[in-house]
Chain A
């Protein structure tokens, strides 16, 4: 039962600061670039870096605490993608690059997911070929959250020897097809057609897998924040809305639904702590636990978000009212990395038999 459960005093301070920032930010209307400068200033981009890489010597727990708070307010800037996924990949493969990330000067994003990958990080169809002093890449990377903000991409590609390497492609070097997710978060696909790239590592699969495991868990923490707000909005609605001459929270059918939403929310919080524990222990069950974490939170988020809308009635499906925005982001979370179904299958392949 050695799992870390209670936050340290320092983590409580970070959490409170992130909560205040998120609450104020909701009203400020600042754009993502301005938000990013504030992330750097607040130290959130270096929080998990070791001291000798210019960081605050924390770990993914600290990232998760901040991500949950950002999730509560549906903050769109790609905090997890940069401060967790790209940061963990670089920490393993090119730690000298991290000072510029921590300062906010560089905003790298991992471009790894491809159509048909099914959540399996070892499935890569993008090809890398040596060309003169450097390399060129061919393929398409998809669903890159926050892509319009990126200053560069960390692109995985298969090299002629069959290994998966990691390459850097400057923003603007490939063709970035920008779009919005249905939850209105900016994203993009990176189309690579003989695109010049710089080699970071010729054998990067282990580092990429670790980084994505971290993404599974910390994005889950973010989704817990999203879910938490959906739940609180619903609870408040049951405590104020009147029909048939009484608060609708007095109807037992609705009470039991709310109880089930609360159970799912609490299970999600718990499984995130278990996922973080597995990342820090880095034992043989790490990837299985990260997948389990994503599955549990995604399915719980779908339920809590959908029932949040249902218990609100008509107002729940309007653009004007926030509960639907939270539902959208929870569904988007569920669909990333092959979708929760693909992650169940991954877990099924990794579980102890």
Chain B
């Protein structure tokens, strides 16, 4: 087995013990991640594009920017455990969070269903971070009921003409392309008339409007399409097969919504904050009532992480039972993020009250912050993470899915 860290050297990871792999990732981060960037990312909650692009490029040089892709398209050939180890290490070290829309969502779809021309044009630019992607799925009247989407694409010669609206489009304001689910037919079941399409966001007729979320930040957008002419070669796979492709794409990532890495980061930060907060002169971390509540949540995280390990081991052994595993991981994972966020905010007491506008703080801290420096972003993150239990199929929909596998209909 080659363990060379030289670029372009093919490394066989398949037999590498997990701890060895973890060390390899840590070494890479230590050698490549600038300190100021790590400091910035540990206190940020929305992505900062220049860092994302730079770090994606850095990982790409090493062959590590697309862990979920097939090896023939540049994937590193990691096991599922290794992918989880990588995710955890980069998150906890404060590496910029890679933008998932290109690297983990549309990339694998193009690998599987794209034409040769689509592969040749898009895959290298996704891998390197040169082109950033947004996901155009949700619409004002198609949220959890995604298949009700109405944004229309009508064939006109060698183009499609797209009209309609997408919403909750993360990162659209600084992305170059968007992948879309569009309605190409009203025949039959609503799922059967949907196509998967790639659209250059600089095409005339596209308007992007920011949606400011309750944390005061800007990550979400509305995207409007007014007679947008899209070359027909930008259709992925066959017309009216988009729903199937989208479903498969989500199944590929079935264990990656568990949020365990975020829980670990939150637990660490709660403990740091609780050491600094003094209640009548005594550190909060020494208060037995607070300690018990922290312990209770840490126990929940331990059990949840063990579920993730179980599922990963079962997946690697090729056992995919009828159990609605992704829904379990999503429900529990997102709800734990919110509960931990609430405890973190509580640990700050009044020091959690000041508003920290992200744009004023993320590149360098001001000389005179309104509150404790370790309070940065806690309330904003708490606010923004309300979205976790809503997106990706709300937790109520996930519970419907779980019950659906358990009950007769």
Binding site for B on A (CB under 8 A): 1-3, 5-6, 235, 238-239, 247, 249-250, 252, 255-256, 258-260, 262-263, 266-271, 273-274, 289, 292, 295-296, 344-345, 347-349, 351, 353
| Also in contact, A267 and B332, with CB within 8 A (given A238-B407, A259-B406) | yes
CB contact between B402 and one of A2, A250, A263, A296 (< 8 Å): that residue: A263
B400 within 8 A of A: yes
Is the Cβ of B296 less than 8 Å from the Cβ of A344?
yes
| Complex alpha-carbon distance, A45 and B166, angstroms | 64
Most buried by B among A252, A271, A345: A271
- The reply to whether the CB of B81 lies closer than 8 angstroms to some CB of chain A is yes
Residue pair B306, A3 in contact (C-beta under 8 Å): yes
Cα distance, A345 to B299, chains bound together (Å):
11
Q: Which residues of B contact A (CB under 8 A)?
A: 18, 81, 84-85, 271, 275, 285, 288, 291-292, 294-296, 298-300, 302-307, 309-310, 312-314, 317, 319, 323, 328, 331-332, 396, 398-400, 402-404, 406-409
A262, B406: Cβ atoms closer than 8 Å: yes
Indicate which residue in A2, A260, A292 contacts B299 across the interface (CB closer than 8 Å).
A292
CA of A113 to CA of B144 in the docked complex: distance in angstroms? Answer: 52
Asked if A249 and B298 make an inter-chain contact with CB atoms under 8 angstroms apart, the answer reads no
**Given contact pairs A258-B406, A267-B300, A292-B299, a sample of 17 additional A-B residue pairs in the complex whose CB atoms are under 8 Å apart:** A1-B309, A3-B313, A6-B314, A249-B407, A249-B408, A252-B400, A255-B399, A255-B400, A256-B403, A258-B407, A262-B406, A263-B402, A266-B328, A274-B302, A274-B306, A296-B303, A344-B296
Task: Report the bound CA distance from A348 to B85 in whole Å.
Answer: 26
| A259 lies within 8 A of B307 (CB) | no
Complex partner residue of B307 from A1, A255, A267, A353, CB under 8 angstroms: A267
Q: Which 5 A-B pairs have the closest CB atoms?
A: A255-B403, A270-B306, A348-B295, A5-B313, A259-B402
Which residues of B have CB within 8 Å of A235?
Answer: 406-407
Given the interface pairs A256-B399, A296-B303, the reply to whether A3 lies near B309 with Cβ below 8 Å is: yes
Chain A residue nearest in CB terms to B80: A1
A348 vs B289: C-alpha distance in the bound complex, in angstroms? 10
- Checking B85, B285, B304, B314 against A267 with a beta-carbon cut-off of 8 angstroms, the contacting residue is B304
B288 close to A348 (CB less than 8 A): yes
By the criterion CB–CB under 8 Å, are B295 and A5 in contact? no
Q: Which residue of B lies closest to A341 (CB)?
A: B292
Q: Does B81 lie within 8 Å of A1, measured CB to CB? A: yes
List chain A residues, Cβ under 8 A from B288: 345, 348
Which of A255, A269, A289 meets B302, CB within 8 Å? A289
Cβ–Cβ contact B84 & A1, under 8 A: yes
Q: Could you tell me the distance between the alpha carbons of A328 and B310 in the complex, rounded to whole angstroms?
A: 29
What are the residues of chain B within 8 A of A1 when measuring CB–CB?
Answer: 18, 81, 84-85, 309, 312-313
Chain A hits for B303, CB < 8 A: 267-268, 270-271, 274, 292, 296
A243: min CB distance to chain B, Å = 15
In the docked arrangement, what's the CA distance between A46 and B56, Å? 55
Residue pair B408, A239 in contact (C-beta under 8 Å): yes
User: Given that A255-B399, A348-B291 are contacting pairs, would A6 and B408 also be in contact in the complex, using a CB cutoff of 8 Å?
Assistant: no
| Contact with B285, one of A249, A252, A266, A353 (Cβ below 8 angstroms) | A353
Q: In whole Å, how far is B335's beta carbon from the nearest beta carbon of chain A?
A: 10
Is the CB–CB distance between A262 and B402 below 8 Å?
yes
Chain A residues positioned under 8 Å from B313 (CB to CB): 1, 3, 5-6
A353 and B328 in contact, given A1-B84, A258-B403 (Cβ under 8 angstroms): no
Separation in Å of the B212 CB from the closest CB of chain A? 32
